[in-house]
RNA sequence: GCCCCGGUAGCUCAGCAGGAUAGAGCAUCCCCCUCCUAAGGGGAAGGCCAGAGGUUCGAAUCCUCUCCGGGGCACCA
């Protein structure tokens, strides 16, 4: 509808150009907007105001000229010039009704578009380090990333969802060491636990499992373990130095094979937990990309060579630096440490290079807000590798703060206070968790109210939307109980019976749906879809309260059933994209 | 000090790519089930869109500065 009006206006512009009223060089952006107030018609355009200056005319006069040149169309019943120069369009109700038929024909496909057709998008999200369970912060990224993926798919893009598994590097070494130390405790050794080791309960559980499996095979005497290590933070030393020395000791005592056994158990256990957690949350990844695999393939070295041959690497203080200041970053960054190990950045550059080579048109990274400083160096790397940096889109998700009523829930990692995604899901349920995560723009800091999300009451916006769907299902069940037959064909033949304001309002909102999808996908903003759902649900509840659907008169009944059936379909489609269920009864 | 995000009703937030009288939900106050689930609906009240400049026909929306919150500035990942 919008597009058709825009075409009409373009036609008018062309003919004004021929008449010499408008300069041929002008290529106006023709815009048509929906009007909120029915008084101003169904759609309006600001075209005359936009063109007024370049045409040297006052906007209202120009609007008149545009209307004179506007090609005739059966869908437009009336036009008017209003306010400072708006052109208002009134649409033939008959034409508006066609949306109901369209929804019934397309069903679950309704609302999808082809605007992204032929474009391959890769979206990487969650990618939490496999050193512990997902917490509520990861949950927001997971909900957001998966909703954006579905949204892009609905807009026609070919989407690949990826999880980058940081299974290489120091953090994994710390994990393996932490597990081993807990294992030694289990064996009966007394060793002070390093300040910088992982102290979550899951570490103990993993070590216990190893103990049951392997017995005391990996046991070493406490004295042997701590002998000659530098002081830990608690003893006035440096916790980083201490943990590094402990890792070395662990490696020396266990040998590569033994160390890897601990590392591998930890990785498998935690990654398995993350996978099942995400699956239960309705979040899927097409690809789990291993950092270790990347390093093993020699890709990191190769990428460094490319940077080197582009003359973007230099040596200083025994380390190798990436000269990213030349490409817009504020500092140069280390890629190979003094000790010869490559940094996380080096792998990440190689990883992005790998993504580019896989042939995606758009790369999306969903990151926590704390990573924003990381963006310039990745962009620099992409430029250095000869790729247009605008192909990389980084979406930052701000933090979520949990509240229980008025009380802020502490997010400290210290024992017992840590809130995992799994705990959140257990407490509020999958649907509410997703809905609440997606309700806000991702740039918005979020206050997540656990009590509200959990409440089974009308305060809870999730139920409000789901209830609209369930209510419609219930109407169709009641229809069967009355032994009336639903005849969609008869309804379609009598759409003109939908004369109530509430019905017009609903139809109007239904026809907005494809635009909402398009818009939300373009802006990566699933919250727009939630907003829309709340509007649509409100319209339905209002309608439901004011009118009955199961009336005696068959034509009217079938017409109304067609309308609410369409509402049900659209709600189901939208909830589907958001990964939230559409219950048939509540 | 520099960088990112935010500052809209008592609270939590929308406000689409500048457009016509700034919108929801919660909380407050009134009202509505003989009827398809009241997990619903109708109404009232509530605002100098943080502040100051600028851009223009027109600014909550764009630009600059200031103030107030949150986060980030590693040879960690």
A547 CA to B43 C1' distance (Å): 19
What percentage of chain A has pLDDT greater than the value 90? 68
Instruction: Give chain A residues 201-220 with Cβ within 7 A of strand B.
Output: none
C1' of nucleotide B39: residue with nearest CA: A458
Supply the pLDDT for residue A409. Answer: 79
pLDDT tens track for A1-37: 778 888 888 888 888 888 888 777 777 677 888 877 7
Please give the Cα distance from A344 to A381 (Å, whole number): 13
Proximity of residue A444 CB to strand B below 7 A = yes
Supply the pLDDT for residue A92. Answer: 86
Letter string b/e over residues A334-359, b meaning 16 or more CB atoms within 10 A of that residue's CB: bbbeeeeebbbbbbbbbbbbebbeee
Hey, is A165 helix, strand or coil? strand
Supply the pLDDT for residue A150. Answer: 97
Please say if the pLDDT value at position A416 is more than 50: no
> Is residue A159 left, alpha or beta, with left meaning phi > 0 and alpha meaning psi from -120 to 50?
beta
Please give the Cα distance from A417 to A508 (Å, whole number): 48
Supply the pLDDT for residue A415. Answer: 42
Please say if the pLDDT value at position A418 is more than 70: no
* pTM (two decimals): 0.94
Please say if the pLDDT value at position A187 is more than 50: yes
Supply the pLDDT for residue A391. Answer: 92
Which structure tokens are listed for A528? 């727009």
Q: Are the beta carbons of A163 and A288 closer than 8 angstroms?
A: yes
Local confidence band at A169 (pLDDT 50, 70, 90 cut-offs): confident
Supply the pLDDT for residue A413. Answer: 47
pLDDT tens track for A547-579: 999 999 999 999 999 999 999 999 999 999 999
Instruction: Give chain A residues 183-202 with Cβ within 7 A of strand B.
Output: none
Proximity of residue A2 CB to strand B below 7 A = no
Non-local (6+) Cβ contacts of A416 within 8 A are none
Proximity of residue A37 CB to strand B below 7 A = yes
pLDDT tens track for A502-550: 999 999 999 999 999 999 999 999 999 999 999 999 999 999 999 999 9
CA nearest A553: which of A491, A507, A481? A491
Residue A339's nearest nucleotide, by CA–C1', is: B75
Supply the pLDDT for residue A414. Answer: 42
Residue A452's nearest nucleotide, by CA–C1', is: B26
pLDDT tens track for A117-136: 889 999 999 999 999 999 88
Proximity of residue A548 CB to strand B below 7 A = yes
pLDDT tens track for A375-409: 999 999 999 999 999 899 999 999 888 888 777 87
CA nearest A198: which of A453, A19, A415? A415
Proximity of residue A375 CB to strand B below 7 A = no
* Mean of all residue pLDDT scores within chain A: 91
Instruction: Give chain A residues 86-145 with Cβ within 7 A of strand B.
Output: 86, 88, 129
């Amino acid at each position: 509808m919008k597009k058709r009006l825009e075409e009409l206006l373009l036609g008018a512009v062309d003919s004004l150009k021929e008449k010499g009223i408008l300069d041929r060089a002008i290529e106006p952006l023709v815009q048509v907007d929906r009007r909120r107030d029915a008084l101003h018609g169904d759609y309006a355009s600001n075209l005359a105001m936009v063109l007024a200056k370049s045409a040297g005319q006052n906007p209202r006069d120009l609007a008149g000229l545009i209307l004179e040149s506007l090609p005739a169309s059966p869908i437009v019943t009336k036009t008017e010039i209003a306010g400072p120069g708006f052109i208002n369009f009134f649409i033939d109700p008959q034409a508006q009704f066609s949306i109901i038929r369209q929804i019934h024909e397309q069903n679950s496909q309704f609302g999808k578009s082809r605007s992204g057709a032929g474009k391959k998008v890769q979206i990487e999200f969650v990618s939490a380090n496999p050193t512990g369970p997902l917490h509520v912060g990861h949950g927001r990224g997971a909900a957001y990333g998966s909703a954006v993926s579905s949204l892009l798919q609905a807009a026609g893009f070919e989407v690949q969802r990826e999880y980058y598994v940081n299974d290489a590097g120091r953090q994994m070494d710390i994990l393996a060491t932490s597990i081993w130390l807990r294992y030694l405790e289990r064996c009966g050794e007394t060793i002070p636990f390093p300040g910088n080791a992982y102290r979550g309960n899951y570490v103990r559980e993993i070590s216990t499992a190893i103990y049951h499996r392997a017995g005391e095979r990996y046991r070493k005497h406490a004295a042997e373990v701590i002998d000659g290590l530098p002081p830990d933070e608690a003893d006035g030393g440096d916790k980083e130095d201490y943990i590094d020395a402990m890792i070395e000791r662990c490696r020396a005592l266990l040998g590569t094979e033994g160390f890897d056994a601990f590392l591998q158990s930890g990785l498998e256990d935690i990654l398995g937990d993350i996978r099942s957690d995400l699956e239960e949350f309705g979040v899927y990844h097409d690809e789990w990309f291993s950092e270790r695999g990347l390093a093993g393939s020699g890709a990191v070295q190769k990428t460094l060579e490319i940077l080197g041959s582009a003359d973007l690497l230099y040596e200083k203080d025994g380390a190798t630096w990436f000269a990213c200041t030349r490409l817009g970053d504020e500092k140069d960054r280390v890629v190979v440490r003094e000790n010869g190990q490559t940094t996380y950045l080096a792998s990440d550059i190689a990883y992005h290079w790998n993504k580019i080579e896989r042939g995606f048109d758009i790369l999306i990274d969903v990151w926590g807000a704390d990573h924003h400083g990381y963006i310039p160096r990745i962009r620099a790397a992409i430029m250095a590798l000869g790729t247009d940096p605008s192909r990389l889109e980084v979406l930052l998700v701000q933090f979520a703060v949990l509240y229980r009523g008025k009380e802020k829930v502490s997010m400290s990692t210290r024992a017992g206070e840590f809130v995992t995604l799994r705990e959140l899901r257990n407490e509020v349920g999958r649907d509410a968790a997703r809905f609440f995560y997606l309700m806000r723009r991702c740039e918005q800091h979020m206050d997540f109210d656990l009590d509200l999300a959990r409440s089974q009451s009308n305060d809870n916006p999730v139920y409000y939307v789901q209830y609209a769907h369930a209510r419609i299902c219930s109407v169709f069940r009641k229809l069967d109980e009355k032994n009336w037959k639903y005849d969609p064909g008869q309804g379609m033949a009598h759409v003109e019976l939908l004369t109530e304001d509430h019905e017009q309002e609903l139809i109007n909102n239904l026809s907005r749906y494809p635009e909402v999808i398009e818009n939300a996908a373009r802006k990566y903003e699933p919250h727009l879809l939630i907003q829309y759902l709340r509007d649509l649900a409100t319209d339905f509840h209002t309608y439901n309260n004011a009118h009955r659907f199961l009336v005696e008169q068959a034509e009217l009944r079938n017409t109304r059933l067609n309308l609410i059936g369409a509402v049900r379909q659209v709600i189901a489609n939208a909830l589907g994209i958001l990964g939230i269920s559409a219950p048939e009864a509540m």
